[in-house]
Amino acid sequence: MKRKVIALFLILAVVAGTAFANGQQEAADGGKKVVGFSQCDSQQAWRWAETESVKQEAAKRGYELKYNDAQAVQANQIAAIRSFIAQGVDGILLAPQVMTGFGPVLEEAKEAGIPVVLLDRLVAEDEDLFFTFIGSDFVWEGEEMAKIVVEETGGKARIAELQGTPGADPTIDRKKGFENVINEYPDMQIILSQTGDFNRTKGKEVMEAFMKAEGNNIDVIYCHNDDMAIGAIQAVREYGLEPGQDIKIYSIDGIKDAFQAMVDGDLNAVVECTPLLGPQGFDALEAAWRGETLPKWVMSEDGIFRMDEAAALIDGRAY
């Protein structure tokens, strides 16, 4: 009997030690910590990769995750956050649909003493309403994309732009960054610009309309994300032109389908925007639970990839 008690004690000690080593912390009542994750939507490959990163990391660290997909409706996100607060979660991860409108519910989370970590998009609210923002530099992404477009067109191009979700900071800042650069080149002109809502189907529909209107006058398509670029490629080909050749196409994210499109010669370059934010999200919550502070922006490190290097890299892509 004594040997069994000792063995059980040793097992418990190892489990506890492992959990602690993983940074897992227990809830006040000694149970598992509970984290609410409000995801803005689940309509793009990038979103699926981010959600999977968060779910896998929660499981790895032994936290209970309450997941809500708002289906691109901000009101659903606000309701989900309110529900997390009512359930007394220990932390909230929020990937906000748009920048504005989250102030009141973030105030409620603050009053409840629940730390909120923003994933992949910022909100235009007081910085003391969130613990930190983990995500990419969207202005940099737009600027780097524009530099490649200038280089590959010799500084002369009529550009069609597929914008992301209106009011989301990647949309605002990817446009800002791109224009920061092309505004230096008088022969670089955005002749058409419309939202495709970061969505593959809508990106194709908008590109079909652009082709109908100006098909033979478009030299470049700048897409705020890969899903819209995949739709644009289909629209260009169905119009009868060669994507990547007759019309050069550039996009942001770096999902595997985009690498395949570069391998196929349909997409000319991609600036990465990593969705694999789960580990950093839980690192931030654990810092909050330890009473520590972090900078208000934990910036992701992203790469830049050209068509001719995609074949060597595609098998190593993590999303």
User: Using CB under 6 A as the criterion, which residues of the chain lie in contact with ligand GZL when the complex forms?
Assistant: 44, 46-47, 120-121, 135-136, 170, 198, 225, 227, 252-253, 273
Instruction: Report the residue number, 32 or 121, with the smaller CB distance to ligand GZL.
Output: 121
Instruction: Report the residue number, 153 or 234, with the smaller CB distance to ligand GZL.
Output: 234
Closest CA to 168 of 197, 129, 128: 197
User: DSSP code of 192?
Assistant: E
Report the nearest approach of ligand GZL to the CB of residue 227 (Å): 6
Instruction: Report the residue number, 85 or 249, with the smaller CB distance to ligand GZL.
Output: 249
Report the nearest approach of ligand GZL to the CB of residue 276 (Å): 11
Instruction: Report the residue number, 130 or 239, with the smaller CB distance to ligand GZL.
Output: 130
Instruction: Report the residue number, 43 or 153, with the smaller CB distance to ligand GZL.
Output: 43
Q: How far apart are CA 305 and CA 319, in angstroms?
A: 15
Instruction: Report the residue number, 122 or 235, with the smaller CB distance to ligand GZL.
Output: 122
Instruction: Report the residue number, 108 or 137, with the smaller CB distance to ligand GZL.
Output: 137
Report the nearest approach of ligand GZL to the CB of residue 158 (Å): 24
Report the nearest approach of ligand GZL to the CB of residue 139 (Å): 13
Residue 114 dihedral angles phi and psi, to the nearest 5°: -105, 120
Report the nearest approach of ligand GZL to the CB of residue 131 (Å): 18
Burial of 3 (0-12, 13-18, 19+ CB in 10 A): exposed
* Sign of the CA dihedral running 17, 18, 23, 28: negative
* Sign of the CA dihedral running 68, 69, 72, 73: negative
Report the nearest approach of ligand GZL to the CB of residue 117 (Å): 14
Q: For the range 140-143, what are the long-range contacts, defined as Cβ-Cβ under 8 Å and sequence gap of 24 or more?
A: 140/177, 140/302, 141/170, 141/173, 141/174, 141/177, 141/252, 141/271, 141/273, 141/302, 142/173, 142/174, 142/175, 142/176, 142/177, 142/178, 142/179, 142/180, 142/181, 142/252, 143/177, 143/178, 143/180, 143/181
Instruction: Report the residue number, 85 or 223, with the smaller CB distance to ligand GZL.
Output: 223
User: DSSP code of 29?
Assistant: T
Report the nearest approach of ligand GZL to the CB of residue 197 (Å): 8
Report the nearest approach of ligand GZL to the CB of residue 240 (Å): 28
Q: Which alpha helices (DSSP H) does 35-183 contain, by range? A: 45-61, 74-86, 103-111, 138-153, 169-182
Taking a C-beta distance cutoff of 8 angstroms, is the pair 91, 69 a contact? no
